[in-house]
Amino acid sequence: MPEDKEQIRKRASYKGQITAFSNYLNSLKVSSLAATEVNELQLRISRIESMYERYDEVQLSIECNTDNIDAQISERTDFESLYFKSLSLAKRILADCIKSDDVSSDGGSHSGNHKFVKLPTIQLPKFNGSYDNWLEFHDTFMSLIHSNDEIDDINKFHYLRASLEGPAAVVIQSIEFSAANYTVAWTILCDRYDNKRLLIQNHVTALFNIAPINKELSVNLKRLIDQINKNLRALESLGEPTKQWDTLLIHIITQKLDAKTYREWKESKGRLEKDTPITFDIFLMFLKNRADLIETLEMSNSGATNRLNSSIKYAPKVKAMVSVRDTGNKNGSAFSAKLCPKCKGDHKLSSCPQFLGLSNDVRLQLLPEYKVCFNCLNSGHYANHCKKPGCKICHRKHNTLVHVADYQSKPITDINTSNTSSGNNKPVMQGHFEQTNSSTGSQLSSNSNAHLSLSAKVGTASCSEQGDVLLSTALIKVIGKNGCPYIARAILDSGSNACLITEELYQRLGLPAQNVNQSVVGINNASAHIKKICKVSIKSLNDNFSSNLHCFVLPSITQNVPTRYVNLSNLKIPSNISLADPNFHSPAPVDMLIGADVFWDLIGTQRLKLGDGQPILCETSLGWLVSGPIDYRYVKKGVNFIKCNFTRIFQDEASKDLDEDIQKQLVRFWHLEEVSPASLYSNEEKLCEEHFLKNTTRLANGRFCVRIPLKHNPDVLGDSWPRAQKCYYR
């Protein structure tokens, strides 16, 4: 066909070009290629590279229209072999030429393996409207931002606004932030501050107003030299003839020198020849030499002082709070100073569980052994030099934890004895407890119908002389996931048949938890949801008592207990007993609630009544509890909010009915929103679906075999099978 002949002629042309390129490469003298020949080679390579696509298009057309496919494939193989060999040879020659040029330009002295060093970011200077800093800001901003063509105008405007402060920022504050207004803003700023006469006047004034030197120090002299150089360079850049101001400048600056430096300058000037002109450079050189000399003397004096102080520091002392010399292990002694002197733990002595578990008498006897301050319980000073407040009971310079007072009281051996006072008419609110299941906390699960009632605490603000009621609080050890003990504050409540723990303490312990689905209902049927229950191991501070509790996890148990600070100055608490909560008098958060399942195992047989209007001390395995009503005289003034901790956990038939009702409503909603199953397919879509169901099969290897659907008879395609087969196997 004429078309086939035209394609063959095009292919012959491409073959001739590649043959000519191969002959050109063979004629090159690789060892002595000139620069023009190298450039010519680059151009030829780029042209040959773009030729292959055109050849491939022509050869493909010929292969699709010929009956002798094998001959055409042989033609393609011969062309591609010559093409790629020639192109590979050309690129190798070009690479060798470029490499030789690089080596010759470097002179063979550098290997080129320079490590990349990231330079620090250049910070734009801030300009606040002071003429002293205008030239520095102007030159820096012009170099980095204004003259940088790679930064567009809107970003330049952003950098300009970020660099201005104070009065300078007000100058362009009213200009709209846009790319077109950047040039306007920069021009306005330059018109305001790039005033040559004002700049000259400002720098000349700065020379006259240099602060005089009152004491001969190297720092003062260097500061003086820097101020002089800064203003003179600025004046010189503004076109002022500063080289002709030598005599005037020397006179001005010498009036600023201290007496010793001024005398030294006079002596230095007298050693010069009479006819030698005294220039300002000579004067500056004198100041620099003088500053270096004084700095050397200062360093020598500083070294001697440090050696003297060092010898005094390590001299043996007659009396010391803590020994600081340990020739055997200095690092160990420094580390031990940070540890608790009682248990060697990483905490302060005032937070030590073992120390808090002791009575005041025993604590006081141990303090001299620990060599700590009796007031703040920290090492390094004595109580008479301590700046922290003293005891809250007697106001002397010792800690409340070591307060000792002689006190005797009669123990009440019968815990069931009635302690009502006939003279006390204040109402006492008792918490209601209803027990419907005698099982312990370990039997409380998501399927149980358990009820939990917490005791109520009520105070009032209606009367200014109303007292308060102290709840039973104790410090306990709570064992975490890794076996590490944590100090927690617990409230003991006999009106609760389950134990509680706050979410914060639970997260800190890292204990595993079991999911539950229960509700907490408080006063006026206020409801909350409980989702977790965990097993907690507790111990007393002195390790004499331990128990495992199953605690429900709540975000919060109650507010700070007590609600107001208690004045300890008139409370006669014996010093020979160990309180369960030494800080019972200060409002603090509650981490746990211990219910009736453990409460009666903790309570002992002894009680101490401190007096009328004072709380009662109760012996427990955790220490002595301070609990009960307290008169207003012992409580600091403040609003005593009405608070009730009554809570009930339940999951009964009513809640189940409510859940089922909600479930039915959701099912009904989804039925209404469900799409109708009626088919909306067209006739062609139905035929396509039927064809897919009849003719789709799955092969043994897991692949699907699908027959292509046809709208018309396959005869309309004609006799195209041989041609398609040839194109497929090319």
Handedness of CA 388, 393, 395, 397 (dihedral sign): negative
Do the beta carbons of residue 478 and residue 571 sit within 8 Å?
no
How confident is the model over 547-582, as pLDDT tens digits? 999 898 888 888 888 888 887 777 778 877 888 888
Averaged over 690-695, what is the pLDDT?
Answer: 86
Query: pTM, whole model, 2 decimals?
Result: 0.37
Provide the pLDDT for residue 453.
Answer: 41
Q: Which residues are bridge partners to 477 per DSSP?
A: 487, 539
- How do residues 622-670 score in pLDDT, each as one tens digit? 888 888 888 767 676 655 555 555 555 555 555 555 556 677 777 777 7
Of 193, 178, 176, 177, residue with least CA distance to 141: 193
Q: What angle do CA 431, 433, 438 make, to 5 degrees?
A: 155
Give the mean pLDDT of the chain: 75
* β-bridge partners, 303: none
Distance of CA 603 to the CA centre of its chain: 47
Q: What is the H or E stretch that residue 111 is in? A: none
Per-residue pLDDT tens over the stretch 115-155 = 445 567 777 778 888 877 788 888 888 888 888 888 888 88
Return the pLDDT at 443. 39
Q: Which two tokens stand for residue 654?
A: 């009513």
Query: Which DSSP category does 451 fall into?
Result: -
Domain ranges of the chain: 2-104, 131-194, 200-305, 335-402, 441-653, 683-727
- Average pLDDT (229-244) is 84
Which CATH superfamily is 441-653 part of?
Acid Proteases (2.40.70.10)
Q: Is 119 or 722 the better-scoring residue by pLDDT?
A: 722
Q: Is 209 exposed, middle or buried (0-12, 13-18, 19+ CB in 10 A)?
A: exposed
CA-to-CA dists, residue 710 to 183, 277, 716, angstroms:
69, 111, 11
Backbone angles phi, psi at 659, to 5 degrees: -65, -40
Q: Which helix (H) or strand (E) holds 650?
A: strand 648-650
pLDDT at 246 (0 to 100): 84
Instruction: Compute CA distances 338 → 332, 347, 358, 429, 703, whole Å.
Output: 10, 8, 22, 47, 72
Report which secondary-structure segment, H or E, holds 332: helix 330-336
Q: Is 536 helix (H, G, I), strand (E, B) or coil?
A: strand
Residue 449 confidence (pLDDT) above 60:
no
